[in-house]
């Protein structure tokens, strides 16, 4: 490398430090090309990972498409909360189709064959869809909180729900601006005539994991799309749980319906927190312990963390199916090709049961016709 030092003297300020480093790397690759492309997986490992990711993408795309059809094609399903579920499905679907497929090919082959333009689009879409998903979960939590804890407060109307959805995508786009500005590609040629193209972010102070700006951005992104939202949603569901389960009053059918809804969304939030924690933690760990990037197992480790994060898009429709009878009935209509399956379960007999309220020493009626929330 000493032969290159006269061209890239540290005291020469005519080149930006990042450009210096890129030029140094380029000249080094030309003079001393590596023998073969690194991170080349054997065929059987590629096949195994392809099956795992393919199954996840199939369920994610199919499930979220069905969720969108259920809400948009059936008038009785068009509630404010379900509109937010549609937005969540849209973000998950975009993540699966426009980001996950291309990222998987990039990670499995250790090569980016899709060009510089889509490198920028891919990195931008990745952060936009993640932010849109978590912001939508926060909006759902707040909507449920108002309905249960503040029942006298004016509920959100569909027009305001649309405004909230547009605001979510606008704020998510602002948060994803750095990948739009700093994404680039770099191609390396090896001595066996193979080439490897990288799609990554070049910040003004370098590349990950050495870039301080990249580290700060990851911390900000982690805080705004994980730590603060999870804390806010946990607080909302804690207050909802105290309202629904913390009293000695008679449990009405309306309350039971609300409990089911809260359980479903609480499950979605918990799954989100579990799926994304390892992925976010990897980037923070890699900055402080940089030797992990050169380890022999890092490719499989990152693939596992990435699969777990992307699996969140697959799990949500499964939660709707297992915990909501209306979604389950519509799913069965599609999967079983049976358009006449009933959507609502049969109602109990018209008798009105009477239960004793211990706290007020009075009887209250539980009407079978209570509205679901």
CATH of the domain at 322: 1.20.1070.10
Give a yes or no: residue 140 inside a domain.
yes
Domain hosting 239: range is: 56-110+129-151+208-339
Contact (Cβ atoms closer than 8 angstroms) between residue 115 and residue 163: no
Q: Mean pLDDT lowest for which of 119-133, 195-209, 271-285, 333-347?
A: 333-347
Average pLDDT of span 181-201: 88
Residue 204 has pLDDT above 60, yes or no: yes
Element (H, E) at 202: strand 195-203
Smallest CA-to-CA distance from 35 within 196, 193, 191 is with 191
Q: Is the predicted pLDDT of residue 148 greater than 90, yes or no?
A: no
Which H or E element spans position 183?
Answer: strand 183-189
Q: What are the pLDDT digits (tens) for 40-98?
A: 788 899 999 999 999 999 999 999 999 999 999 998 898 899 999 999 999 999 999 99
pLDDT number for residue 250: 60
| 140 band by pLDDT with thresholds 50, 70 and 90 | very high
User: Looking at the domain assignment, is residue 96 inside a domain?
Assistant: yes
Number of structural domains the chain divides into: 1
Angle at CA 313, nearest 5°, toward 305 and 292?
10
| Residue 186 in domain | no
Confidence class for position 150, pLDDT limits 50, 70, 90: confident
Residue 307 within any structural domain of the chain: yes
The residue to which tokens 């990851």 are assigned = 218
| Mean pLDDT, residues 321-327 taken together | 89
Please indicate, yes or no, if residue 146 is contained in any of the structural domains: yes
* Average pLDDT of the chain, as a whole number: 81
Rounded Cα–Cα distance for residues 271 and 265 (Å): 10
Domain-located, residue 198: no
Q: What percent of the chain has pLDDT over 90?
A: 51
Beta-bridge partners for 137? none
Whole-prediction pTM: 0.79
- Report yes or no: 269 and 230 within 8 Å, Cβ to Cβ: yes
Residue 3 has pLDDT above 90, yes or no: no
Q: How many beta carbons lie within 10 A of that of residue 355, not counting itself?
A: 13
Instruction: Average the pLDDT over 6-27 and give the result.
Output: 44
């Amino acid at each position: 490398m000493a032969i290159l030092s006269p061209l890239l003297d540290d005291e020469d300020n005519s080149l930006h430090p990042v450009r210096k480093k890129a030029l140094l790397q380029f000249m080094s690759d030309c003079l001393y090309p590596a023998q073969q492309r690194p991170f080349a997986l054997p065929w059987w490992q590629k096949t195994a990972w392809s099956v795992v990711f393919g199954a996840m993408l199939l369920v994610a795309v199919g499930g979220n498409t069905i969720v969108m059809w259920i809400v948009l094609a059936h008038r009785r399903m068009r509630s404010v909360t379900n509109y937010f579920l549609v937005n969540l499905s849209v973000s998950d679907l975009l993540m699966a189709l426009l980001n996950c497929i291309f990222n998987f090919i990039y990670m499995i082959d250790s090569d980016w064959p899709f060009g510089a333009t889509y490198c920028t689009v891919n990195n931008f879409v990745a952060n936009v869809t993640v932010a849109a998903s978590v912001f939508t979960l926060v909006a759902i939590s707040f909507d449920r909180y108002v309905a249960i804890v503040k029942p006298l407060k004016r509920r959100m109307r569909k027009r305001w729900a649309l405004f909230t959805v547009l605001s979510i995508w606008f704020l998510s786009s602002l948060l994803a601006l750095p990948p739009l500005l700093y994404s680039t590609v770099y191609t390396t040629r090896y001595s066996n005539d193979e080439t490897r193209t990288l799609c990554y972010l070049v910040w003004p102070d370098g590349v990950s994991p050495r870039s301080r700006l990249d580290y700060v951005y990851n911390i900000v992104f982690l805080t705004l799309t994980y730590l603060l939202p999870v804390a806010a949603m946990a607080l909302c569901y804690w207050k909802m749980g105290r309202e629904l389960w913390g009293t000695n009053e008679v449990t009405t059918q309306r309350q039971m319906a609300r409990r089911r809804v809260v359980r479903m969304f609480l499950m979605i939030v918990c799954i989100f927190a579990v799926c994304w924690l390892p992925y976010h933690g990897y980037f923070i760990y890699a900055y402080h312990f940089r030797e992990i990037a050169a380890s022999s197992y890092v490719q499989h480790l990152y693939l596992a963390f990435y699969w777990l994060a992307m699996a969140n898009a697959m799990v949500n429709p499964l939660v709707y199916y297992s915990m909501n009878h209306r979604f389950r009935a519509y799913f069965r209509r599609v999967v079983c090709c049976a358009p006449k399956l009933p959507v609502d379960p049969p109602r109990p007999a018209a008798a009105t049961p009477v239960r004793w309220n211990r706290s007020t020493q009075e009887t209250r009626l539980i009407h079978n016709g209570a509205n679901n929330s």
